[in-house]
Amino acid sequence: MQDLFTKEAIANNVLPIDDRSIERVNAKLAGRPDLMAGRTSLTLYEGMKGISENVFLNIKNSSLSITADVEVPQTPAHGVIIAEAGRFGGWSLYLKDGKPTYTYNYLGLQRFTIASPQPLPAGKATIRFDFAYDGGMGKGGTGTISVNGQKVAEGRIEHTQCCIFSADEGADVGIDDGTPVTEDYEAGEPSKFIGKIDKVTVELKPGKPLDKKQADELDESQKLKQQAVE
């Protein structure tokens, strides 16, 4: 019976049996197959919503950029460009009173907001958010917002979620369709972007190496998995 279990466990990627807790929900940390593994860029379009974490680029514990090509109307634009998850953890890039704004919601306990002091003028614009991650797992970093290549805002995000944002709220483009990431807007139809979103590209960037403890944990996981296969 033990031999049969080992055979089936290897065939179905069960081994190594993992005694970690929350880290196991992050496929990259757990070392299990990941639909998006190896991808460093994902381009999305207006109207795409409810994209679960398992089919969205895994941005956790990473430096990244979010680049949005938009067109705003004459009146001050508002609404969500792209958001992931909601009230109990997630992030959102949006316009508030026409001003490009990014909020990171840490477990519903803290919200870190970076915002341009000036609203966008009417017309086409490229809004970019860059996050320079400190390195390690669940650490912070520095966020920067640029408009048409010019930096307009910068700030610190002191904590990030290492492993999961939400079990049931996905990523949305042009709206925040679940609970709101931030109190700056109401979820659903009131959060809909006023204007046009041509595309949004999320891209992972090279960052600082893992700290020794995490590197050792990942190395041990890979060794156990290789031993199980052999």
pLDDT tens-digit series, residues 78-119: 999 999 999 999 999 999 999 999 999 999 999 999 999 999
Residue 165's pLDDT is 92
First to last CA, the chain: 19
Contacts of residue 27, Cβ cutoff 8 Å, sequence gap at least 6: 33, 34, 37, 54, 58
Domain 40-208 has CATH 2.60.120.200: yes
Q: For residues 61 and 47, what is the distance between their CA atoms, to the nearest angstrom?
A: 27
22, 164 contact by CB (below 8 A): yes
Residue 222 pLDDT exceeds 50 = no
Do 163 and 22 touch, CB atoms closer than 8 A?
yes
pTM over 0.75? The answer is yes
Domain ranges of the chain: 40-208
| Beta carbons within 10 angstroms of residue 185's beta carbon | 23
pLDDT digit string, tens, across residues 113-159: 999 999 999 999 999 999 999 998 899 999 999 999 999 999 999 99
